Copies of this chain bind each other. A is one copy, B any other.
Amino acid sequence: MNPDIQRERENATFNTDLLTYILDGGQEKTRRRREIESLVISDADFQQEDANFLSRSERYDAAVRKSAQMILKLREYGISDPEEIYAYKNIVQGQNNEALGLHFVMFLPTLRSQGDAEQRKKWLPLAESFKALGTYAQTEMGHGTFIRGLETTATYDPATQEFVMNSPTISSIKWWPGGLGKTSNHAIVLAQLYTKGICHGLHAFIVPIRSMSTHEPLPGIEVGDIGPKFGFDEVDNGYLKMDNVRIPRMNMLMKYAKVERDGTYQKPPSAKLTYGTMVFIRSMIVGESSRALSKACTIAIRYSSVRHQSELRPGEPEPQILDYQTQQYKLFPLLATAYAFKFVGQYMTETYHRITGDINQGDFSELPELHALSAGLKAFTTWVANGGIEVCRMSCGGHGYSRCSSLPDIYVTFTPTCTYEGENTVMMLQTARYLVKSYRQASTGQQLSGIVSYLNEAHQRLQAQPVSSRPTVVNISDLASLVEAYKLRAAKLVEVAAKSLQGELQKSRSPEDAWNNSSIDLVRASDAHCHYVVVKLFAAKLGEISDTGVHSALSTLALLYALHGVAQNSGDFLQAGLLTVPQLSSVSQRLKDILAQVRTNAVALVDAFDYRDEMLNSVLGRYDGNIYEHMFEWARKSPLNRTEVHESYHKYLKPLQSKL
């Protein structure tokens, strides 16, 4: 154990395990998670060469092998609880992705939720035994966000009782689905349904794309890998072009909408039924934001505790770089953010389950709010985590740029969350639509409930007095007062956006143009709303924590999170009259004091995330802090070192020398 990092742990003022239990949701859950992780770590079948040393084809190969092994082992060990499966997969994959991911998260669930009884009976056994390996093909080359614009067609032919599937243009080629390129032999394809000459919009079809015996592409199918990406090397995101591919009528998923034998179309009863999955996935992504950021913080903070550089005091040894205020100012607000997002993720999951219960009893009342919240928080948390991971990487200097740090991998694996499952700006605007609607309801005297209820009082408050004469509300040392300030900031920015929209409408533009011309303000309003929700939930979480050591450490982080946000957005708080200019200097001073407090517990706070070395796969983030010897060991395995003299010397350099 490196003595620096050992001393950090000895100096911590709280019990790390107790905090880990809170993060896991209880001591028993921590125990079981650790047990599952140890199963994998001690399993010789999962030992393998570092993926960084493999070609893309080898990485894909290794991922398929691991997926196949996982399936067999999970059955062997009888692990079936979703949380436990999640823990198992996480430790197997480390920073990488699952080759069969879409089969599990989209193909199977869609068969279950959208297939009718007969379809489920036919397809589920095939999918559960992996005879049918599937993916979900929605996005096209030319169409992502706006799914109504998809061009793929499914035209019913009553003569043969088949659908004829077509990709009528280049831009209609299915593009991006994971596992589509090489792995899957089936795809659930979203296509515009035509029957009796009429288009009935998007429906889902099960399309066999490769032979179940030879795995060769079927006639009329052109399928392949879309080529190398920023990350996800081990995943075969694919393309699919269909040319008059005929599938049986019963390959349209018919639980809701139906096409009868003669081609008669039956509408689905409600369009809102698929809402839930979307909300669930976005809630999961909030959790992923915390996860990715907390991994990056673990690596950067551990490294900063063992890395020594420059001098603080002449003649003394080089200090740990964690002692530099600028380093603390980079990392500690992100550490606080990782905790904040963790608690937001927990809240989202709980709320989702609670509301799902309501929905099953026919009560849809809370769904719009959760839908709006999950959209905004997905965008808010992924953007912040995305930038934060890179700050962590760069805070590790040159070594953060090496693949041995794992930070490049964490970034490229995480950054697509800003785009997929709802492009972030589009998500922010969805939330804004809900906020503006709520604001208008409050303006007309309607009483709002739920998380937007602040628009009731805020509306009165903001109307009552001009901004400049309003008394300052915030006590910068009091978290409750800061939550209040975030709330009023959000209310102010929702008001600004609503008024901008109003102003644009009065210029007699169309509602759509007015919306577009206010969209900068609308995104800001959503951002402020989400920021308020995060601060509020972090503060609320503190109330649940009984251990005084842990409570104190987390309270400091919550204050740091809130004050850092005030400093970063000081213009908003000044503008809304929630803060005075002299207070701004106090905020700066207070932040510095808090950084010094967090310094004591920084390593313990990342230890509490409890990532095994095998999961981080980072030389810089090693628990024992022994970075340099392992960096050297890692580098010597680099493929370029397999020969002392690279062939390019003989091919180009020696001839060059002889020519000059």
Closest to A648 in B: B64
Closest to A630 in B: B170
**In the complex, are the beta carbons of B313 and A510 less than 8 A apart?**
yes
Q: Which of A350-407 contact B (CB under 8 A)?
A: 386-387, 390, 394, 397-398, 400-404
| Chain B hits for A473, CB < 8 A | none
Complex CA distance for A314 and B511, rounded to whole angstroms = 10
**In the complex, are the beta carbons of B636 and A403 less than 8 A apart?**
no
| Chain B hits for A506, CB < 8 A | none
Complex CA distance for A363 and B178, rounded to whole angstroms = 64
Complex CA distance for A133 and B131, rounded to whole angstroms = 57
Closest to A131 in B: B657
**In the complex, are the beta carbons of B631 and A592 less than 8 A apart?**
no
| Chain B hits for A607, CB < 8 A | none
Partner of A311, one of B64, B146, B390, B567: B146
Q: Which of A45-73 contact B (CB under 8 A)?
A: 52-53, 55-57, 60-61, 64-65, 67-68, 71-72
A575 proximal to B (CB < 8 A)? yes
Partner of A129, one of B231, B404, B419, B657: B657
Q: How far is the CB of A64 from chain B (nearest CB, A)?
A: 4
Q: How far is the CB of A107 from chain B (nearest CB, A)?
A: 14
Query: Which of A20-28, A157-165, A295-303, A517-525 interfaces with chain B?
Result: A517-525
A338 proximal to B (CB < 8 A)? no
Complex CA distance for A631 and B571, rounded to whole angstroms = 43
A86 proximal to B (CB < 8 A)? no
**In the complex, are the beta carbons of A581 and B468 less than 8 A apart?**
yes
A94 proximal to B (CB < 8 A)? no
| Chain B hits for A81, CB < 8 A | none
A276 proximal to B (CB < 8 A)? no
Contact flag A653-B133 (CB < 8 Å), given A312-B513, A401-B415, A635-B224: yes
Query: What 0/1 pattern do residues 627 to 655 of A give for CB contact below 8 A with B?
Result: 01101101111111100111111011111
Complex CA distance for A60 and B652, rounded to whole angstroms = 12
Partner of A512, one of B145, B312, B569: B312
Q: Interface residues, chain A, CB within 8 Å of chain B? A: 52-53, 55-57, 60-61, 64-65, 67-68, 71-72, 128-131, 133, 139, 141-146, 149, 170-171, 173, 175-176, 181-183, 214-217, 224-231, 236, 239, 307-314, 318, 323-327, 329-330, 386-387, 390, 394, 397-398, 400-404, 408, 412, 415-416, 418-420, 423-426, 429, 467-468, 496, 510, 512-513, 516-521, 523, 567, 569-575, 577, 581, 584-585, 588, 591-592, 628-629, 631-632, 634-641, 644-649, 651-657, 659-660
Sample (23) of A-B pairs whose CB atoms are under 8 Å apart: A55-B55, A60-B646, A64-B649, A130-B657, A142-B307, A171-B628, A182-B646, A182-B649, A216-B645, A224-B635, A226-B402, A227-B635, A228-B402, A312-B516, A326-B519, A326-B520, A327-B425, A394-B419, A398-B420, A401-B415, A467-B581, A468-B581, A569-B571
Q: What 5 additional pairs, Cβ within 8 angstroms, besides A72-B659, A130-B656, A496-B585? A: A65-B652, A183-B649, A236-B646, A325-B516, A575-B581
